[in-house]
Amino acid sequence: QQQVKQSPQSLIVQKGGIPIINCAYENTAFDYFPWYQQFPGKGPALLIAIRPDVSEKKEGRFTISFNKSAKQFSLHIMDSQPGDSATYFCAASRTGNQFYFGTGTSLTVIP
Amino acid sequence: NAGVTQTPKFQVLKTGQSMTLQCAQDMNHNSMYWYRQDPGMGLRLIYYSASEGTTDKGEVPNGYNVSRLNKREFSLRLESAAPSQTSVYFCASSEEGTSGRAFTDTQYFGPGTRLTVL
């Protein structure tokens, strides 16, 4: 059973567009929601993370929106660039316990 | 500072063969992890080590064993490889302070080992 459901599987946007990747979870005990970025041939790297005490977090061009009542969170990439082309994974965990990852979204930003 | 290193980068095995995947980190981190990544499945935790001398099962431990050799090194062993173990394997580490608990700090991933079992 997938603990975290991620969509879409793939996404193509024009440079400057705002891709949005969505994740949903069921376990209300989860209290940490990170996003990872993975380039081909590399390991995932932490991009940005949020805890449920806030509804939004911004770091540079990356924003997480969090809806606790809907048990959903999403990643928005402002002014997307070709260098943002990568696979993005959401994850969820209860502090001090294992992470559950989404299935990944392959993002392509066309120049 | 190399971060997390993994060897080998690629490996092809025949069913029934054994092998050990090596992982080392030079960040003086306490916790280390092994994940597998399969298409359409995301990353799944195989085993982890919260601190030197301890190991625990993750979500998908069957068919694997691990050894936390010292604080720097955490190896993953396949005793009798099966085609279902064809995957990309990632090692990760995290600092964890004095809590002794894993999963509380940022995990840093190695570049991965691509394993094919025929």
Q: What is the pLDDT of residues B23-66, one digit of tens each?
A: 999 999 999 999 999 988 889 999 999 988 899 999 999 999 99
User: Among A46, A89, A103, whose Cβ lies nearest the Cβ of B106?
Assistant: A46
**Residue type at B47?**
Y
Strand, helix or coil at A108? strand
Cβ–Cβ of A42/B4 closer than 8 Å?
Answer: no
Inform me whether the pLDDT recorded for A26 exceeds 80.
Answer: yes
Inform me whether the pLDDT recorded for A83 exceeds 80.
Answer: yes
The length of chain A in residues reads 111
Determine how many CB atoms are found less than 10 A away from the CB of residue A92.
23
Give B-chain residues touching A103 at CB under 8 angstroms. Answer: 40-42
